[in-house]
A and B are shown apart, each in its own frame.
Chain A
């Protein structure tokens, strides 16, 4: 049976892992390669490196961080943050990424999704959607949550899928860093609307939050950052919890 994936997110700035709340107020959480090695030992299924300030500061994710993390793990590695062109994606993949995650650039130029899917296959192209509850729906934000686009998250996920995305990384801005639980309504709305896997992100605080997002939220994978970084929750304990709830995981 296909397992639900637990993904650790390394939000990286200037080569260091940082973590904020509602996309703001970043604090230092350590060295990306060291954290990746620890998660690997602890049974993480996948790692995502997001250069959280890359787009704002107009620079691409640092190749040496990708390389240093890739050296530590024999697991799928996704890289996002400032992937704007085919050349940016190629540089990330060259450095050791298996997948790239597109956000702002895909909103501005959706044909980038198709071009990258044609070159690397859909499995290598994740479209990241940052959504916020607004006007009675889930609206999409660009540029690390700073630009309101007025696009509907479900509609954008459908379009991205049609253009060749292989997975959707769906982050709730309302829940990001709050540890109040994933937005299961948002996750289910998107997961039920697209035929590709949806990774839920934003709000992980307890083991229960994960079992909720895999059941009520119908997520295919769940991503968390801070609860793993500060050693508050271990990946293996989380997986035993999920198995006790009859949720398929890799142990």
Chain B
């Protein structure tokens, strides 16, 4: 059973719909203790990093302990940023710290306008530095849907890199922990394929 963590950040409707479409069994636990019996955890989310404050020490401990005993973890958008150490968007609020580094703002153009508008909204391409479980079967430059203003750095665990003014981690993966900055639930067939890859592997 997959636990879909509902911490009030954004819309779970579309994530639920996508999980159903790929045949996943999932539930939305209301207490962190429920994670003990879960084989996988999805942390979705859109919006401000501050929203992750709801994931307090109890949730963090439960998620950490689940990962340590081998449960899979998948973060989407803000949920992926939370897997890093923190974000300039909410200084002082720690992420889970499974990946090194902190999220930074996509610097807007100097005069407030230009080719790199922020937020980064729309379909952009993925570059795969190496082989990964979650991106398996996708062609280089596959396009997926992004909507965000902050980005996670490129790290050795980056499974996909996207360029928008700067290079950033579009996906990270290490063992059974993975995260994507884009919205697989909003990225048509490519997005469903990524979710299915993850589901099949876990």
Provide the residues of chain B in CB contact with A3, threshold 8 Å: 122-124, 143
- Assess whether A195 is in contact with B109, with CB atoms less than 8 Å apart: yes
Which of B13, B18, B163: most chain A CB closer than 10 A? Answer: B13
Is B10 close to A, CB under 8 A?
A: yes
Bound-state CA distance A196–B161 (Å) is 23
With A75-B186, A195-B113 known to touch, is A96 a contact of B13 (CB < 8 Å)? yes
Is A227 close to B, CB under 8 A?
A: no
Q: Chain B interface secondary structure, helix, strand, loop or mixed?
A: mixed
Bound-state CA distance A123–B191 (Å) is 19
Provide the residues of chain A in CB contact with B48, threshold 8 Å: 118, 121
Q: Give the shortest distance, in Å, between B56 (CB) and chain A (any CB).
A: 20
Q: Chain A interface secondary structure, helix, strand, loop or mixed?
A: loop
Residue of B17, B109, B147, B189 near A70 (CB, 8 A) is B17
Bound-state CA distance A74–B123 (Å) is 13
Provide the residues of chain A in CB contact with B189, threshold 8 Å: 74
- Assess whether A197 is in contact with B113, with CB atoms less than 8 Å apart: no
How many interface residues does B have (CB within 8 Å)?
Answer: 38
Is B188 close to A, CB under 8 A?
A: yes
How many interface residues does A have (CB within 8 Å)?
Answer: 37
With A1-B125, A2-B120 known to touch, is A124 a contact of B113 (CB < 8 Å)? no
- Assess whether B186 is in contact with A123, with CB atoms less than 8 Å apart: no
Q: Give the shortest distance, in Å, between A220 (CB) and chain B (any CB).
A: 6
Provide the residues of chain A in CB contact with B14, threshold 8 Å: 70, 74, 96, 98
- Assess whether B46 is in contact with A250, with CB atoms less than 8 Å apart: no
- Assess whether B185 is in contact with A74, with CB atoms less than 8 Å apart: yes
- 22 A-B residue pairs with Cβ-Cβ distance under 8 Å, sorted by A, are A1-B125, A2-B122, A2-B123, A3-B124, A45-B123, A74-B18, A75-B145, A75-B188, A95-B13, A96-B13, A97-B11, A98-B11, A98-B186, A122-B149, A124-B11, A166-B147, A191-B113, A197-B117, A197-B121, A197-B122, A250-B123, A250-B143
